[in-house]
Structure 1
């Protein structure tokens, strides 16, 4: 079912929804520790990253995703006997500019951006978002990052800060649709704050939640799609009709 009325603002999780960070991380691990990756299995390594993030979010909520990568890697390395030198962990951060967009992301954002305001709401810092935004074709009208707020999602402060910026330019929360693949970081909190949500099921057909921690509550979205292309196809006619002439 489509959101009604159609949103005037689409806020997006970036890492995992628009940027394929699991592929980016696995490519680095395959190059630095191929035998360990084969021994452990890629699915187990991704699950370990998800557990490490959940632990670190509790211990150090101020960390951006970019800052979280190194301590998370060290925890995963200890569990699976991966190379644990500081340079190995730092390499994950250094390669963020090479992480690929999902194949449908650039075209879908271009289509949606022609009819609605697009806002990045991300646990990445400004440095990482600049690279990710460039890879996505610079689609965003505004952005809120973890270093803007001092905490990361799922902390409600991220969403409250974003809503404050939108209200300041004349929008209302009823006009917003938050789009994300993570029920842990995004869907549950957005729903609690009265935002409409769309879950992009990037891992549809695969078990578990990969490198994203599993949700702490049922986190039921208002809408769900299997790809951003599906969302663009579903929303575009209503957005075109609703757009002021």
Structure 2
């Protein structure tokens, strides 16, 4: 199997293209500064993952920008901190401020020359529009949790994507699902018979950070530690020099 075998790359966005963990940690500072003890970065991220995943199951049709305020409220309760609803809402609106990884925009601009580029993301359309400006590329299709009415790892999201891509003339065997999260993306990609590429952004860190533990590790067909490494491998397949 080679990267050049595929017609379309379907991307998770947050954690793969957008550095959501740094964005979360920064956006949560008004809360974490109130906590009476030092919280490690992973402690913050793992608590966020627990409450986010639970809330997505509980209210699958709620937009991400409206779901995050509830996560903020739950975190405040867990850490024994009093917050206002306005503070919770402000966190929900912070997604547009989350930074892109330094290699994302350039990599996407290169890949756009060779593949259809598609987003499948656990976010709302308004929040993604802000992130898309940071990624500096026109995606061929964008499928959000708001569009699907559910959050990954629900099979509904992947079924929605596959059905819509078929209308664009893209078949399942032509798709390489490209993502960081084993829990949100590679597990359901396995269930749907999709080839997948792991962008292992957390390769130098312990644990799963802002995503839940996937349980049994899903399989994947390619692994790179960055988008830049993916581009390098594709160039090598084409016989191009860096």
Segments of 5+ residues of structure 2 without an aligned counterpart are none
For residue 101 of structure 1, report the CA deviation from its aligned partner.
0.2
Shift of 1:36: 2.4
Paired residues for 1:33-182 under 5 Å: 33-36=32-35, 39-182=38-181
RMSD: 2.0
Q: Using the alignment, how far apart are the partners of 1:190 and 1:83 within structure 2?
A: 40
The Cα offsets for residues 102-147 of structure 1, whole Å up to 9 and x where unpaired, read as 1110111111111100001111111011111111103311111111
The alignment partner of 1:216 has SS state of coil
TM-score (ref. length: structure 1): 0.90
Q: Counterpart in 2 of 1:9?
A: 8
**Structure 2-normalised TM-score?**
0.91
TM-superposed CA distance for 1:33, in Å, is: 4.0
Could you tell me how far apart the structure 2 residues matched to 1:37 and 1:190 are?
41
Cα distance change, pair 82–181 in 1 and its aligned pair in 2 (3 A): farther
Residues 86/227 of structure 1: CA separation in 2 closer, same or farther (3 Å cut): same
Aligned counterpart, 1:204: 203
Residue 153 of structure 1 contacts residue 185 of structure 1 at CA under 8 Å; is this kept in 2? Answer: yes
Query: Which range moved further: 59-68 or 202-211?
Result: 59-68
Runs of 4+ residues over 6 Å off in structure 1? none
Counterpart-to-counterpart distance in 1, 2:184 and 2:234: 24
Distance 1:80 1:190 in 2: 35
Structure-2 change in CA distance of 1:19 and 1:83 (3 Å): farther
Distance 1:27 1:61 in 2: 26
SS at match of 1:101: coil
The structural deviation recorded for 1:14 is 0.6
Structure 1 gaps, min length 5: none
Change in Cα spacing, 1:82 to 1:211, as seen in structure 2 (3 Å) is: farther
Deviation, 1:169, is 1.8
1:131–1:37: structure 2 CA closer, same or farther, 3 Å change rule? farther
Structure 1, residues 85-116: CA drift from partner, whole Å, max 9, x if none? 11221111222221100111011111111110
Counterpart Cα distance in 1 of 2:121 and 2:229: 22
What displacement does 1:216 show?
3.5
Q: CA deviation at 1:34?
A: 2.3
Report if aligned partners of 2:176, 2:195 keep a CA contact under 8 Å in 1: yes
Alpha-carbon distance change, 238 to 173 in structure 1, aligned in 2, over 3 angstroms: farther
Tell me, in whole angstroms, the C-alpha distance in 1 between the residues paired with 2:205 and 2:27: 22
